[in-house]
A and B are shown apart, each in its own frame.
Chain A
Amino acid sequence: MSELGWIDAALTSARPQALAALLRYFGDLDTAEEAFQEACLRALRNWPEKGPPRDPAAWLIFVGRNFGVDQIRKTSRQAPLPDEEQLSDLGDQESDIAERLDNAHYRDDVLRLLFICCHPDLPATQQIALALRIVSGLSVKEIARAFLVSEAAMEQRITRAKRAISGASREFEPPDAVERSERLGIVAAMLYLLFNEGYSASGGTTHLRGQLCLEAIRLTRLLLRLFPAEPEIMGLLALMLLQHSRMAARLDGNGELILLEDQDRGLWNRELINEGLVLIEKAVRHARPGVYQIQAAIATAHARAPSPDDTNWAEIDRLYGLLEVIQPSPVVTLNRSVAVSKTKGPAAALAMIEPLAKPLDSYFHFHGVRGAYLLQTGDECAARQSFDRAIALARTPAEAAHIRQHIDRLKNLAKSEKRS
């Protein structure tokens, strides 16, 4: 690891705040990005020798703003750029001023930066790609790799997305309370999509794209730091941490998915689980339940169980019931049926999901889960049909392989019956 890794970390973590403040100054994303780039270059020149400034974000905002203003001035008349030496000494006094100016806006700046990536005209995948490029500062190459597309395709996608958001009128006045909470909800949804993109992988061979999960966690932590009393943001972070805690246990040596109940719970990351548990407890104190909190509470029920048999399925059933009220969807009911199959048996679970056959007809998990219930009730023929349908719908080799295990078990069953 390079000795200057701390500078990368400082620039990465200062980026959302600094870029967001520069965006407010210049009202234009391209100018803000250019100014931030320049400030980073100067940081790379100055910081190794002078040591880190006390507040890297304030330093970058100050230097970036000077550069941006000079660029604008230069287009009208030639003015000299600030002296390099002078810049490196600005360490504290001037950046203190920048800091005072910016702290009042800090929250709304960063929220705005995340929010403009969530432009309603952009499909979700483009929103995510844009957030990774603009807010996280990932390179196009890195994003392309995570999405398993070519660099050129990703470049084009991001350019198009940027054009879409630059055409839109943007509000630079601080939002009112209602607007703020709407923005927060939209940004939270985008961050959850980003997490899921890494967690569930909608194609390709790399089932776990950990970097996307980590980036989603980092941005959600940032959001919670800005809005420390928002229970849904606590819930969202808790949900991500609890799901991510199982990363090391989710795949076997062949890259095949291991079901929750078959996972080695010793591989679950206790550090992340503890953080998630505390966050969800904090959120519950607000008595303002929401979808992320409930999903996190469900993840909590799994995280608390030392073994699958210790799982409190009745509690999970109750939580899914709550979720069905707040955000009814066939997938929620399908998930609830798993808890029902544990508490009331596979027949009750099958009855529960029969009405979902139509809306979830092309949903991989529906057929996988249905096949498993049918198998438990002893209807092997119908189970086989469900599993075949699931395989046809599998999006990753790991998903297909998982269903194939069921089918192999069925075949073995049939063979041994013939023999006897």
Chain B
Amino acid sequence: MQYAILCYDNEAEVEAWPRAKLDEVISRHQLATRPVAEQGKLGPVLRLLPTSTAMTVRSGDKPVVLDGPFAETKEQLLGFWIIDAETHEEAVALAQELASHKETGSMEVRPVLMYMDGSNTK
């Protein structure tokens, strides 16, 4: 089963990190996901640009386009990993490992219902 591990944190706080800290967290995360990657079980990994660049489109007859992220929240979605895990436990364990390299924020573990990587849509 595929899982999404969604990384949430206070964007303004992460922006206030010194560059060295950001680099260190990213390289630790890369190290943590390497075993999964080596087994060919690491899907796309994404980091998102800040929410200042976000636009939100509200559904309806004439969808309205709004500036900013979908909701004003204390923590923002910063990026995510997609992994292939045998069990839910395995996905949570990786999320724990990833979370242990940061002092703030959360990792949300969500099983994937449908996955299209672009190659199977042709």
Whether, in the assembled complex, B115 has its beta carbon less than 8 Å from a beta carbon of chain A, the answer is no
Give 7 closest A-B pairs by Cβ, nearest first.
A228-B68, A6-B103, A13-B12, A9-B16, A278-B53, A229-B67, A12-B16
Whether, in the assembled complex, B20 has its beta carbon less than 8 Å from a beta carbon of chain A, the answer is yes
Q: How many A-B residue pairs have CB under 8 A?
A: 70
Cα A55 to Cα B24 in complex, Å, equals 24
B16 x A278 contact (CB < 8 A): no
Size of interface on B: residues with Cβ below 8 Å to A:
25
Find chain A residues with CB under 8 A from B68 CB: 228-229
Binds B, one of A219-227, A365-373, A379-387, A399-407: A219-227
Q: Which of A263-287 contact B (CB under 8 A)?
A: 271, 274-275, 278-279, 282, 285
Whether, in the assembled complex, A237 has its beta carbon less than 8 Å from a beta carbon of chain B, the answer is yes
Main secondary structure of the interface of B (DSSP, over half): mixed
Find chain B residues with CB under 8 A from A218 CB: 15-16
Given A6-B103, A221-B52, A13-B67 contact (CB < 8 Å): no
A285 x B15 contact (CB < 8 A): no
* Other-chain contact of B12, A1, A5, A225, A228 (Cβ < 8 Å): A225
Cα A234 to Cα B17 in complex, Å, equals 23
Find chain B residues with CB under 8 A from A55 CB: 74
A9 x B13 contact (CB < 8 A): yes
Cα A30 to Cα B98 in complex, Å, equals 42
* Other-chain contact of A274, B18, B20, B49, B74 (Cβ < 8 Å): B49
A13 x B16 contact (CB < 8 A): yes
Q: Which of B15-52 contact A (CB under 8 A)?
A: 15-18, 20-21, 24, 49-52
Q: Report B39-83 CB contacts with A as 1/0, cut-off 8 Å.
A: 000000000011111010000000001111000001000000000
Size of interface on A: residues with Cβ below 8 Å to B:
30
* Most A Cβ at <10 Å: residue of B12, B51, B52, B55: B52
Q: Which of A191-228 contact B (CB under 8 A)?
A: 218, 221-222, 224-225, 228
Q: Report A156-167 CB contacts with B as 1/0, cut-off 8 Å.
A: 000000000000
Q: Report B101-122 CB contacts with A as 1/0, cut-off 8 Å.
A: 0111000000000000000000
A275 x B49 contact (CB < 8 A): yes
Whether, in the assembled complex, B14 has its beta carbon less than 8 Å from a beta carbon of chain A, the answer is yes
Cα A234 to Cα B68 in complex, Å, equals 11
* Most B Cβ at <10 Å: residue of A1, A10, A52, A225: A225
Whether, in the assembled complex, A180 has its beta carbon less than 8 Å from a beta carbon of chain B, the answer is no
Whether, in the assembled complex, A141 has its beta carbon less than 8 Å from a beta carbon of chain B, the answer is no
Would you give the shortest CB distance from B29 to chain A, in whole angstroms? 15
Find chain A residues with CB under 8 A from B104 CB: 6, 10, 52
B49 x A221 contact (CB < 8 A): no
Whether, in the assembled complex, A411 has its beta carbon less than 8 Å from a beta carbon of chain B, the answer is no
Cα A229 to Cα B102 in complex, Å, equals 32
Task: List 14 A–B pairs whose Cβ atoms lie within 8 Å, in order of A's numbering.
Answer: A1-B20, A9-B13, A10-B10, A13-B10, A52-B103, A56-B10, A218-B16, A225-B12, A229-B66, A234-B67, A278-B53, A282-B53, A282-B55, A285-B65
Q: Which of A111-148 contact B (CB under 8 A)?
A: none
Find chain A residues with CB under 8 A from B10 CB: 10, 13, 56
* Other-chain contact of B52, A12, A13, A237 (Cβ < 8 Å): A237
